């Protein structure tokens, strides 16, 4: 069609098109229409632009397919290692690295292969589309749902909290590992990030004198229902700490975890997540591990708690 006329419009029609499929069609410059109301169509002559939003999830999807979706803590672990480590590797190796079962990992890898998120030759994974894998996972991940937050007020402001984290790392280590995520962490790599609440991963626990209360006391934080400038995230999984790195003496989550937290956040956070992914694209040689042995050197997933 485009050989016949330069301004030919291509339209893809289907019962339903996933968000990832629609993004791919947009990048190709193709129009699309699905029966739930997702429409993007352009004509040059006459000038016509039509765009509407329909269902984000397939209304006819069988319930049994939920197990293959990229939701839940286990899926988060597998996505993280696929993003953070360059292939090749097999399902058995990935299962060992993430402390997950081989059958479950194999099923999710098959689903990823169907979505062209990974490429396999026989049983060996040879390529990972980590950009799209992060976005696909983010469609089923909400940082504040997966890691229940507690609202805090820092009377001295966010810079004071970061100074305390830097100066009292030994005290914090006795309580449990912490790591900064969210917009404040994004400022280190994404110029578009403009701050906002400080998000800090802390150990889970809701008992009297819990680790969270001890962290709050160490950092000079007060519980509040209004005006919070700090969110303490009770981490839902130890895997969020894998790949931590220091930024001026303050522990930050790995870039892959940061991108997921931002994409699965609120307000401006998804846009900041896009900026972090752009940064990751230009610096892949720096942050991506060459082997699974380098992914969790602290053994965090082998010593849960």
Report the share of the chain in percent with pLDDT over 70.
Answer: 91
- The sign of the dihedral angle between the CA atoms of 234, 238, 239, 242 is positive
Average confidence (pLDDT) over 260-264: 96
Question: Taking the domains of the chain in order of start, what are their residue ranges?
Answer: 1-61, 63-138, 144-294
Question: What pLDDT digit, counting tens, does each position of 34-44 carry?
Answer: 999 999 988 77
pLDDT band at 211 (very low <50, low <70, confident <90, very high): confident
pLDDT tens-digit series, residues 114-125 = 888 999 998 999
Tens of pLDDT, residue by residue over 171-197, are 998 888 899 999 999 998 987 767 789
Domain 144-294 has CATH 3.30.460: yes
More confident residue, 206 or 15: 15
pLDDT at residue number 208:
47
Which residues make Cβ contacts (< 8 Å) with residue 88, sequence separation at least 6? 124, 125, 126
Distance CA 136, CA 305 (A): 28
282/8: higher pLDDT: 282
Percent of the chain surpassing pLDDT 90:
64
State the pLDDT at residue 209.
Answer: 64
Q: Which of 13-27, 205-219, 271-285 has the highest mean pLDDT?
A: 271-285
Mean pLDDT value across residues 61-81:
77
State both tokens at 283.
Answer: 């610096």
For residue 260, the model assigns a pLDDT of 97
At the top level of CATH, which class does the domain 63-138 belong to? Answer: mainly alpha
Going by pLDDT thresholds of 50, 70 and 90, the confidence category of residue 304 is low
pLDDT tens sequence across 139-154: 999 999 999 999 999 9
- What are 80-131's pLDDT values in tens digits? 999 999 999 999 999 999 999 999 999 999 999 988 899 999 899 999 999 9
Strand 149-153 vs strand 230-234: parallel, antiparallel, or unpaired? antiparallel
Q: Is the pLDDT of residue 65 over 60?
A: no
Cα–Cα distance for residue pair 238/227, rounded to 1 Å: 29
Q: What is the mean pLDDT of the chain?
A: 89
Contact (CB, 8 A) for 172 and 179: no
């Amino acid at each position: 069609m485009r050989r016949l006329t330069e301004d030919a419009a291509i339209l893809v029609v289907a019962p339903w098109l996933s968000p990832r499929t629609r993004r791919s069609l947009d990048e190709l410059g193709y129009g699309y229409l699905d029966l739930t109301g997702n429409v993007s169509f352009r004509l040059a002559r006459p000038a016509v632009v039509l765009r509407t939003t329909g269902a984000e999830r397939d209304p006819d999807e069988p319930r049994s397919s939920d197990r293959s979706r990229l939701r839940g803590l286990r899926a988060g672990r597998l996505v993280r290692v696929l993003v953070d480590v360059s292939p090749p590797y097999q399902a058995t190796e990935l299962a060992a690295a993430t402390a997950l079962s081989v059958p479950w990992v194999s099923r999710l890898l098959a689903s990823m292969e169907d979505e062209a998120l990974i490429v396999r030759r026989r049983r060996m994974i040879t390529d990972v589309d980590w950009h799209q894998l992060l976005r696909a996972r983010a469609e089923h991940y909400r940082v504040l749902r997966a890691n229940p937050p507690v609202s805090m007020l820092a009377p001295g402001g966010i810079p004071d909290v970061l100074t305390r984290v830097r100066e009292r790392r030994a005290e914090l280590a006795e309580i449990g590992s912490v790591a900064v995520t969210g917009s404040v962490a994004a400022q280190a790599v994404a110029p578009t990030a403009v701050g906002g609440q400080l998000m800090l991963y802390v150990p889970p626990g809701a008992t009297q004198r819990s680790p969270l209360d001890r962290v709050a006391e160490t950092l000079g934080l007060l519980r509040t229902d209004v005006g919070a400038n700090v969110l303490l995230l009770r981490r839902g999984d130890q895997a969020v700490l894998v790949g931590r790195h220091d930024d001026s003496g303050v522990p930050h989550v790995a870039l892959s975890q940061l991108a997921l937290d931002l994409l699965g956040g609120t307000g401006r956070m998804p846009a900041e997540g896009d900026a972090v992914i752009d940064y990751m694209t230009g610096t892949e040689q720096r942050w991506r591990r060459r082997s699974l042995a380098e992914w969790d050197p602290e053994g965090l997933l082998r010593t849960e708690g």
